[in-house]
Structure 1
Amino acid sequence: MSEFSEPVADRPGTGDEGSPRGRRLRLVALLLLLVVLVVTVIRVIAAVGPPTREQLREQAGLAGKQTLYIGVKDDQPGVSQQLENGAFEGFDIEIAYMIAEDLGFDAPRVRFLAIESEDRARRQARDVDGSYVTVDLVVASYSITKQRQEQGVVFSAPYLETEQSVLTLASYEGTVTSLRDLADKRVCTLGTSTAESGLEQRVPRAYGRNRISGCIQELHDGDVDAVISDAAILAGFVGPRPPGELPPKNKLERVKKLRHWDIGDDRAERYGVNAGPNPALRDLVNLSLQESAEGPDGARWRVAFDRYLRSEQQYNNPQQVAVDRQPQPEPEDRVEVRQWPWERFALPYPHRSPPAWSSGVARARVRRSSGC
């Protein structure tokens, strides 16, 4: 055999490992290894990583739930009030709708029930038949305080910041720059509120009522000299109701022109949602507020603020109605959820369509459909 007739099989690189079949086997083995690696990583992350949004919904008892019950105020124009047709409107109502959407409930599946101040901690609201209902959430101008937290109220992150102020008749003789100016005056405030706490020492003739609208009616009637409460709550009673709006269910009588006084109170009233004892539900509420404050959906908060609170500012100067930016969540209120890389290219909120808020469209048509 000549040197030119050497067997082909003995030449380097011509064995099975260099053949198309060998390359296919190596590719299959590599793909199998990658699949095993991905499955292992996913199982590790699922075991020790943060929960998904859907897992939080299951832990919160929302999976399969048909209606979300929310306790709200019914006599605070601009913040939360009930209209004569039974629907609710106001800044708190829009925040409640925003959170409900992020929990997976569109407007027809949200039911608002009027709640009194002393019932907010227990989440007990009155139904139309007079019976008490334990609501899922309380969004009712509820200030976050250390005392309330120590008593067991589980608050979300804050969603609005305001301060305490004073209302008098526009014809009031004198000035009100601090509570000292009311030391000998008859003053009404909302019972079990932060305004009532410690007020009796500074204003001996002060007393609390169950509803702020009751205080305002007494002011119009001349039974009290002043009303003290949060600026955001009082502001809605000062200016005229926008033309074309439906009248409120709770109407005031013998209405007179009012004046809003800045008393220089540097204590911030920061409103939070009472989400009850379920930590998963609280986390979902905080996640909604967090995404609103930091994510592309923040226009929802801005539209609600502009529509109901900023529009009142012109009638309440120099008292600021509320801070015109959403409070940033504190580190302890921040929530992380597991989101796979491919989900980041989908809708940020897979349970609902992109909102119309980013285009500045208010949800009046939806708000009217959900009442009582």
Structure 2
Amino acid sequence: MKLRARKVSAAIATVLTLSLAATACGGSDSGDGGGKITIGIKFDQPGLGLKTQDGKYTGFDVDVATYVAKELGYEAKDIEWKQSISAQRETMLANGDVKLIVATYSITDKRKAKVDFAGPYFIARQDLLVRKDETGITKAEDLNNAKLCSVTGSTSAQNIKEKLAPKANLQPLGGYSECLTGLENKSVDALTTDDSILAGYASQAEHQGKFKLAGLKLSEEKYGIGIKKGDTELKGKINKALEKMKSDGSWDKFVEANFGKSGYKYEPAPAIDAS
């Protein structure tokens, strides 16, 4: 009987231990604070979402996400950053791999059919990045017969090729860094994508003074915070946090810190869509 009692006691102790461990790990991504929260960002966009060589995360999206997480009850140390590749964002939210995605995530009707968005928290415009001494490219049509650098799969470059400058000579490359190298050595004449992304690259220490934004407004991109479809409670909490971020001056501080050195003429903080 004593042996049986000891076995029962041991079993109870094991259950309690497992229960306590589950409690400690539980609550993750609850949206109500406590535990951990996983947030999707870009790892390769200077000024917006960048994982540095020393393992730190910097950029405007990172600052916004950190602010919102704090308003939800999470400290910076509670955030697990996860790389959010554009083509995988909807799947990551649907599968619960992340709680939020703050990654130059433009709000579109097609995306809203799959996920919900809080915000917008920023408005970007498609633009061109050219060399600092460039004087011949001041509008999209000037790219006709010029060499336009595009990242493979870029919709921005296709927008120019199909609508604005059909004679542009597209030079598809694997990444923005390759386009910047080509722009610097004059093998291409311009790079196009969202002006916020271009400003981030132009602000990097190694690029300062070499490039400039053309200042064109070829499209409107409203960046929102992606969340799982149907989570209206979380959407409301995030929108409230974004309103506070604007009113207390944090939005202006984040924009200046990440884009100020590029001379980027950014849009004012947009109105939050509460619908």
Partners of 2:171 and 2:87 lie apart in 1 by 15
Report the counterpart of residue 344 of structure 1 in structure 2.
Answer: none
Any conservation in 1 of the 2:105–2:225 contact (CA below 8 Å)?
yes
Report the counterpart of residue 218 of structure 1 in structure 2.
Answer: 182
Report the counterpart of residue 301 of structure 1 in structure 2.
Answer: 251
Partners of 1:68 and 1:196 lie apart in 2 by 35
How do 1:93-172 and structure 2 match up within 5 A? 93-123=62-92, 134-150=97-113, 152-172=114-134
Greater radius of gyration (CA): 1
Partners of 1:278 and 1:209 lie apart in 2 by 38
Question: RMSD between aligned alpha carbons?
Answer: 3.0
Match among 162, 185, 201 for residue 146 of structure 2: 185
Offset at residue 227 of structure 1 (A): 0.5
* Residue 240 of structure 2 is aligned to residue 312 of structure 1: no
Q: Percent identity?
A: 25
How do 1:1-372 and structure 2 match up within 5 A? 61-62=30-31, 66-123=35-92, 134-150=97-113, 152-172=114-134, 174-190=135-151, 195-196=156-157, 198-201=159-162, 202-203=165-166, 204-206=168-170, 211-239=175-203, 241=205, 257-265=210-218, 267-279=219-231, 280-294=233-247, 298-313=248-263, 316=264, 320=265, 322-323=266-267, 325-332=268-275
Report the counterpart of residue 356 of structure 1 in structure 2.
Answer: none
Partners of 2:181 and 2:116 lie apart in 1 by 33
Partners of 2:172 and 2:34 lie apart in 1 by 38
Offset at residue 196 of structure 1 (A): 4.2
Report the counterpart of residue 360 of structure 1 in structure 2.
Answer: none
Q: Where does structure 2 lack aligned partners over 5 or more consecutive residues?
A: 1-26
| Larger mean Cα displacement after TM superposition, 86-95 or 74-83 | 74-83
Q: Which of the pair is proportionally richer in strand?
A: 2
Partners of 2:174 and 2:84 lie apart in 1 by 11
Report the counterpart of residue 370 of structure 1 in structure 2.
Answer: none
Any conservation in 1 of the 2:42–2:49 contact (CA below 8 Å)?
yes
State TM-score, norm by structure 1: 0.57
Offset at residue 87 of structure 1 (A): 0.5
Offset at residue 121 of structure 1 (A): 3.0
Offset at residue 122 of structure 1 (A): 2.5
Any conservation in 2 of the 1:76–1:213 contact (CA below 8 Å)?
no
Partners of 2:175 and 2:97 lie apart in 1 by 20
Flag the 1:79–1:284 CA change in 2: closer, same or farther, 3 A. Answer: same
> What are the superposed Cα offsets for residues 272-325 of structure 1, whole Å, 9 maximum, x if unpaired?
11112241322222221133335xxx2222221221123432xx5xxx2x12x3
Flag the 1:210–1:274 CA change in 2: closer, same or farther, 3 A. Answer: farther
Q: Which runs of 4+ in 1 moved over 6 A?
A: none
Q: Where does structure 1 lack aligned partners over 5 or more consecutive residues?
A: 1-57, 125-131, 242-251, 333-372
Report the counterpart of residue 16 of structure 1 in structure 2.
Answer: none
